[in-house]
């Protein structure tokens, strides 16, 4: 049982500073958002698979197809890739070519991983900005994709700014964790291929 004297003696850790608590709360909320988008990506992947199987079965058995399945599956692929990318980065699951960096001393390797995170964040946030502009222009001009289903082009593009923004933020978080020493550089190259 903790008492006031135990707390003064250092038995319980002091509360984190206010800035860390805010960062921690925002980090948890961001992680929950990434988890939700990962679930959406998974659900879209399953829906895409089921729709394709249904289309093939109907075509084979009844010689009847479903209009727009390929088009919608293409849109789902874009959404899966962009909405799940930040979650994959958080889990360090993206493909990396680290054959040269892995031979460097840990301090230098950490520097290059921080640099890669900064470059990744700048690239993703730049793409997010310009893709927001593209979505706005598509909406203003009423552009639709001329295909089986006339879907507004903005629907096809919407996942790009959202996904790139989230990926840019996750690159920033990764760089900060590396800088603070909360996340160490990889010790050896991963042999997954």
Residue 99 resides in a domain = yes
13 domain residue, yes or no: no
- Residue at 122 is within a domain: yes
How many structural domains are present in the chain?
1
Residue 75 sits in which domain range?
A: 24-180
Contact 169, 90 (CB under 8 A): no
Give mean pLDDT in consecutive 10-residue pieces for the chain, a chain of 193 residues.
Answer: 50 58 78 94 95 90 86 93 94 80 87 93 97 96 87 93 96 92 63 50
Q: Is residue 188 part of a domain?
A: no
The reply to whether 187 falls in a domain is no
Q: Is the dihedral of CA 119, 122, 125, 128 positive or negative?
A: negative
For residue 141, the model assigns a pLDDT of 93
Predicted pLDDT at 24: 78
Q: What is the pLDDT of residues 78-127, one digit of tens each?
A: 999 999 999 999 988 877 777 888 888 888 889 999 999 999 999 999 99
The CA distance from 116 to 119, in Å, is 5
Identify whether 16 is part of a domain: no
**pLDDT of the residue at 115:** 94
Instruction: Answer whether 172's CB lies under 8 Å from 183's CB.
Output: no
Nearby residues of 173 by Cβ (< 8 Å), 6 or more positions away: 27, 30, 90
Let me know if residue 34 belongs to a domain. Answer: yes
pTM: predicted TM-score of the whole model, two decimal places: 0.78
């Amino acid at each position: 049982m903790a008492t006031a004297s135990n707390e003064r003696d250092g038995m319980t850790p002091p509360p984190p500073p206010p800035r860390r608590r805010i960062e921690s709360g925002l980090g948890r909320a961001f992680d929950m958002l990434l988890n939700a988008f990962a679930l959406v990506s998974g659900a879209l992947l399953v829906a895409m698979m089921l729709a394709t199987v249904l289309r093939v079965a109907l075509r084979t058995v009844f010689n009847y197809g479903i209009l727009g399945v390929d088009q919608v599956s293409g849109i789902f692929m874009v959404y899966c890739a962009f909405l799940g990318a930040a979650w994959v980065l958080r889990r360090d699951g993206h493909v990396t070519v680290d054959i040269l960096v892995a031979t460097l001393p840990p301090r230098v390797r950490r520097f290059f991983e921080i640099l890669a995170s900064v470059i990744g964040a700048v690239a993703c946030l730049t793409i997010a900005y310009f893709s927001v502009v593209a979505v706005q222009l598509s909406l203003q001009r009423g552009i639709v994709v001329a295909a089986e289903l006339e879907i507004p082009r903005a629907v096809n593009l919407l996942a790009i700014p959202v996904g790139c923004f989230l990926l840019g933020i996750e690159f920033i978080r990764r760089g900060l964790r590396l800088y603070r020493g909360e996340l160490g550089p990889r010790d050896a190259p991963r042999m997954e291929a």
